[in-house]
Amino acid sequence: MSYHFNEIEAKWQKYWADNQTFKAENDSGKPKYYVLDMFPYPSGAGLHVGHPLGYIASDIYARYKRHKGFNVLHPQGYDSFGLPAEQYAIQTGQHPAITTEQNIKTYRRQLDQLGFSFDWSREVRTSDPKYYKWTQWVFIQLFNSWYNRDADKAEAISNLITLFEKEGNATVNASADEDVPHFTAEDWKSFSDSKKQEILLKYRLTFLSETEVNWCPALGTVLANDEIVNGVSERGGHPVIRKKMKQWSMRISAYAQRLLDGLETIDWPEPLKEIQRNWIGRSEGAMVSFEVDGHDAKIDVFTTRPDTIFGASFMTLAPEHELVSKITTPEQREAVEAYVEATAKRSERDRMADVKTISGVFTGGYALHPFSGEKIQIWIGDYVLASYGTGAVMAVPCGDERDYAFAKHFDIPIPNIFEGVDISEEAFMDKEKTIIANSDFLNGLSYKKAMKTIIYEIEKRGLGYGKVNYRLRDAVFSRQRYWGEPFPVYYEGGMPQMIDSKYLPLVLPEVEKYLPTEDGRPPLGNAEVWAWDTVSNSVVENSKIDHETVFPLELNTMPGWAGSSQYFNRYMDAHNNEEIFSQEAINYWKDVDLYIGGVEHATGHLLYSRFWQKFMFDKGLVPKDEYARKLINQGMIQGTSAFVYRLNGQNKLISKGLVNGHDVQPIHADVSFVNASNELDIESFKVWRPEFKDAEFMLEDGKYIVGREVEKMSKSKYNVVNPDNICKQYGADSLRLYEMFLGPLEQSKPWNTAGITGVHSFLKKLWKLYHESNTFRVSDDEPTKDNLKTLHKTIKKVEEDIENFSFNTSVSSFMIAVNELTAQKCTSRAILEPLLILISPYAPHISEELWSKLGHDESITYARFPAFDASQLVESTKNYPISFNGKMRFTIELPLDFTKDQIEEAVMAHEKTLAQLQGRTPKKVIVVPGKIVNIVG
């Protein structure tokens, strides 16, 4: 009987589904273990071989943990809101829900055929109203919360109201908008309701704010920075302007420090942590106020180098800075206005990309140096960004590269405040070597001492205060899209109101067109039934809007990361319609033990979800403030593109070996026409590219050899490999083994289908080990010493490998074990049974089949992982490498229990040693028992 992998795999996939083999219970005597994958966006293209890499790894780990006696939660779902389905809808009019449903079917079929041990009973889809009900619910919780910096946690907004009623906002230490006015308890009570709402909005963790966005009037939508090229839209080339729009934002900045600190408590890859640290961008320094000469105005700046304040010889404001028009003198007005207008036309990204050009305009206004009282010029320049810090800098040209270049360019004085440093050519920025000079009370101080002194002085004189600044900005949460979660929000007198949680979900309305409306409102503006009736608590026709009891609903939808910010908790209790999850479920599963996914989500999903978790923790909804203890980033699988070479200007394709020196143009060939020896199937190639039907092929040794190059796997490079074909030809077990065998999980590595025959023939050998001339044969013979040695060395290696996520080396060990056992002609059940359990996480189908042939009625899934017995590996002798001056020359076999002296004696007396020494006397003999002998001299 030969190895019919297609039948075997289909059989066991059905068995697992029918028997719900992988269904996890929320309660068990076993210890829990939660293995999570980043759920996929179901794209229309389906999976290529690169996608399942992480899923295979997590599946191996999940299956291993089941063998080890854990109650394993290993769920899967779909991040099914998103742009591609919407764009398809715009083009074809097909509802994104239909597209999404079809794509999910394809994904499910492809995932199933790989034999993953997912508990599909817990599947979630972010676009399912039953699921996004809870996304909306979390949004409402955020709306009803504020961040108390004193308690360092989120609290109910009702607490804040109580505080306001008692003592106004003077004592409230909150993360809030910058422009909150000061008020007393009396003031508060005298405020109108809408005034109160307006103020509270400045404190809520999700809030409406005027955000500057890239608005494209022609397309009627907001564009992301990377959708703009040279100031016009990438799509269509329409002009884009910077415009303020009311948008929902998330006050993630309130959590900046906790997001930073939390990184120290979790086992995530260091590079990923570093990306998050940079993104959060903590910097310490001071806020300092500069008076404006002749105006009742102050310019606040944030600086990380307040120690260099005496070197400040001018100030630069962002062109958008609110004081610009106020302080500009009549003589300078024309130039300033022209500059401001020119800047407004460029996107922030454009401005940042263009770092070489120095530009700016003098406003004519002067600031007063807070310490020296000297007048210093105020300039505007687009190197200062409105969105970072205060949008203004104190320029210290001697200590900052950009200020230096600016000062040189516009001939502004560059006073030197560093002792013994020449600044005639460039700015001096080495903090370690800094000794301050020409700076009054700071003279002679080092960077550290000067920092302390100056901050103390700034605070004492009321000029400002020491401050920690974060680069992390509040996250804009509104999208002008159709295919996303609707906000559970309606507007009463312009103020947002939350729909009561008990009427959720607020289901996405039907629309005729998925584009923005002609007057520039988001796609939901096309909906005719999109108003909230506060009496019936239901969605009603827009025509009923009377602003008395029926109000318009929010037209924006939530961004892609909304649905992925809490899905890992929802899996714990996926079908609960009463709560987001029960306390029993969350307290049982607690958190994710192992999370596997791509590093590309470092500053998106992986940061936002940590923020939501911390908020949920503050609200007492979850027991852990970090949701994933350990995270692994799997590497990318790249494609191995194939090239044919066309002689320039001729219809002639020459084989790679003949290219040398010729002027050729490489052309991608589809990798499916190339065999393991890089030989091109010319006939298939001609059918595929008819323009080469009559081309002349110049061969070497009768073959056309293609060139190879590693590139990103993508359709346009014709190097995409579909797992469906691999499964058909070699089986899922081969694919799983091969993806692991390719190299370390975290590393990027190229795919090359040719190599799969190696693991495939391993599976055939494994099958043969249990068969003799086509019949299943396993004996009850006592295993030999060698059998046991092979088995136990494999147990040890595989167990260590899995624990270290070194799956590639396990596959090697399996090959070695099967090669050895075949050579030993082992048929012993005592060996062949545990061997299957070792292999089963990697190649579950063949393992199940052989396991059942061994006479087991139940799945191998819960069979106990074999115990390693060290005594089986004890050796009595060691083949000692004998080195001369560090170079190994030969080996001598000696008993392991020899002492150092015995070893030295035996080695020195050995004929090979004498021959090597040729009568010389060595200076020294190094003996490391159990390792090596090195003879020096």
Task: Kindly tell me which residue out of 28, 538, 812, 899 binds RNA, with binding defined by CB under 7 A.
Answer: 812
List the x/- string, 401-440, binding to RNA by CB under 7 A: -x--------------------------------------
Query: Burial code of 316-355, b = ≥16 C-beta within 10 A, e = fewer?
Result: bbbbbbebbeebbeeebeeebeebbeebeebbbebbeeee
The C-alpha angle with vertex 883 and arms to 880 and 887, in degrees rounded to 5, equals 135
Q: Is 389 in the site for RNA (CB under 7 A)?
A: yes
Q: What residues between 329 and 358 interact with RNA by CB under 7 A?
A: 348, 351-355, 357-358
Residues between 816 and 835 with contacts to RNA, criterion CB under 7 A: 816, 819
138 vs 632, beta carbon nearer RNA: 632
Stretch that binds RNA, among 160-168, 210-218, 619-627, 880-888 (CB under 7 A): 880-888
Under 8 Å CB-to-CB from 728, ≥6 apart: which residues? 6
Report, in Å, the least distance between residue 358 CB and RNA.
6
Which is nearest to 207 in space by CA: 270, 283, 139, 261? 139
* 646 near RNA (CB under 7 A): no
> At how many degrees (to 10) do helices 5-19 and 844-853 cross?
90
Q: Which C-beta is closer to RNA: that of 84 or that of 758?
A: 758
Residues 6+ positions from 600 with CB-CB distance below 8 Å: none
Closer CB to RNA, 344 or 352, in the complex = 352
Which of 391, 464, 559, 639 forms a contact with RNA (CB under 7 A)?
A: 391
Beta carbon of residue 855, minimum distance to RNA (angstroms, whole number): 26
Q: Looking at 754, 896, 914, 915, which residue binds RNA (CB under 7 A)?
A: 754
Six-digit token string for 483? 């295919």
Which conformational region is residue 414 in: left (phi greater than 0), alpha (psi within -120 to 50 degrees), or beta? beta
Confirm or reject binding of residue 771 to RNA (CB under 7 A). Answer: no
- Closer Cβ to RNA, 186 or 683, answer by number: 683
Count of CB atoms situated within 10 Å of the CB of 2: 9
- What letters, b where the CB count within 10 A reaches 16 and e where it falls short, cover 797-815? bbbebbeebebbebbebbb
| Residue 305 binds RNA (CB under 7 A) | yes
Distance CA 678, CA 641 (A): 11
Q: Is residue 749 at the binding interface for RNA, with CB under 7 A as the rule? A: yes
Please name which of 440, 442, 464, 459 lies closest in space to residue 451, comparing C-alpha atoms: 442
205 closest CA partner among 520, 616, 727: 616
Residue closer to RNA (CB basis): 338 or 355: 355
846 touching RNA, by CB under 7 A: no
Of 444-452, 503-511, 725-733, 927-935: span binding RNA (CB under 7 A): 927-935
Nearer to RNA, 115 or 389 (CB): 389
> Which residues have a Cβ under 8 Å from the Cβ of 143 and sit 6 or more positions away?
157, 204, 205, 206, 207, 496, 498
* Rounded distance between C-alpha atoms, residue 710 and residue 472, angstroms: 36
Nearest approach, Cβ of residue 283 and RNA (Å): 5
CB 435 within 8 A of CB 447: no
Does residue 747 bind RNA (CB under 7 A)? yes
**Using CB under 7 A, which of 599, 632, 850, 860 touches RNA?**
599
Cα 868 from Cα 883, distance rounded (Å)? 34
Which is closer to RNA, CB of 517 or CB of 916?
Answer: 916
- Site size toward RNA (CB under 7 A) is 86
Give 271 or 413: the residue with its C-beta nearer to RNA: 271
Q: Which residues contact 729 (CB under 8 A, 6 or more apart)?
A: none
Alpha-carbon radius of gyration of the chain: 35
Span near RNA by CB under 7 A; candidates 372-380, 418-426, 449-457, 809-817: 809-817
Q: Does 466 bind RNA (CB under 7 A)?
A: no
Pick one of 47, 124, 160, 394: the residue that binds RNA (CB under 7 A).
394
CA atoms within 13 A on the CB side of 99: 23
> Is 20 a binder of RNA (CB under 7 A)?
no
**Interface with RNA in residues 656-685 (CB under 7 A):** 676-677
Give the range of 194-202, 332-340, 610-618, 750-758 binding RNA by CB under 7 A. 750-758
Q: 192 vs 871, which CB is nearer to RNA? A: 871
Q: Does 600 bind RNA (CB under 7 A)?
A: yes
What are the C-alpha distances in Å from 120 to residues 23, 62, 74, 509? 8, 14, 9, 29
Closest CA to 659 of 641, 674, 645: 645
Measured CA to CA, the distance from residue 476 to residue 490 in angstroms comes to 19
d(C-alpha 480, C-alpha 474), whole Å? 18
Q: Is the separation of the CB atoms in 766 and 846 below 8 Å?
A: yes
CB of 807 to RNA, least distance (A): 10
Q: Which stretch binds RNA (CB under 7 A): 7-15, 202-210, 692-700, 801-809?
A: 801-809
Tell me whether residue 168 or residue 281 sits nearer to RNA (CB atom).
281
Interacting residue with RNA among 10, 335, 908, 932 (CB under 7 A): 932
Q: Should residue 779 be labelled a site residue for RNA when binding is judged by CB under 7 A?
A: no
Q: Which is nearer to RNA, 69 or 744 (CB)?
A: 744
The answer to whether 883 contacts RNA (rule: CB under 7 A) is: yes
Segment near RNA (CB under 7 A), from 165-173, 363-371, 493-501, 877-885? 877-885
Q: Could you tell me the smallest distance in angstroms from the CB atom of residue 19 to RNA?
A: 33
Question: What distance in Å separates the CA atoms of residue 210 and residue 108, rounded to the nearest whole number?
Answer: 42
Q: How far is CA 528 from the centre of its chain?
A: 38
Judged by beta carbon, residue 162 or residue 804, the one nearer RNA is 804
Q: Is 742 in the site for RNA (CB under 7 A)?
A: yes
Among residues 744, 830, 872, 906, the one that binds RNA under rule CB under 7 A: 744
Asked if residues 653 and 722 have their Cβ atoms less than 8 Å apart, the reply is: no
Does residue number 536 form part of the binding site for RNA (CB under 7 A)?
no
User: Which residues 891-920 are close enough to bind RNA by CB under 7 A?
Assistant: 891
Residues 249-278 that bind RNA (CB under 7 A): 270-271, 274-275, 278
303 touches RNA (CB under 7 A): yes
Q: Is 805 helix (H, G, I), strand (E, B) or coil?
A: coil
Pairing verdict, β 652-654 and 696-698: parallel
In whole angstroms, give the CA distance from residue 639 to residue 671: 9
809 lies in the binding site for RNA (CB under 7 A)? yes
Considering beta carbons, is residue 30 or 749 the nearer one to RNA? 749
Binding of residue 729 to RNA (CB under 7 A): no
Pick between residue 197 and residue 684 the one whose CB is nearest to RNA.
684
- DSSP-derived secondary structure letter, 394: E
Residue in the structure block whose two tokens are 């299943």: 776
Q: Which of residues 281-300 bind RNA (CB under 7 A)?
A: 281, 283, 285
Order the strands of the 475-476 sheet from edge to edge: 221-223, 206-216, 241-250, 475-476
Q: Does 703 bind RNA (CB under 7 A)?
A: no
Q: How many CB atoms lie within 10 A of CB 778?
A: 21
Instruction: Show the tokens assigned to 617.
Output: 């923790």
User: Residue 447 Cβ, how far from RNA at the closest point, in Å?
Assistant: 14
| CB nearer to RNA: pick between 382 and 554 | 382
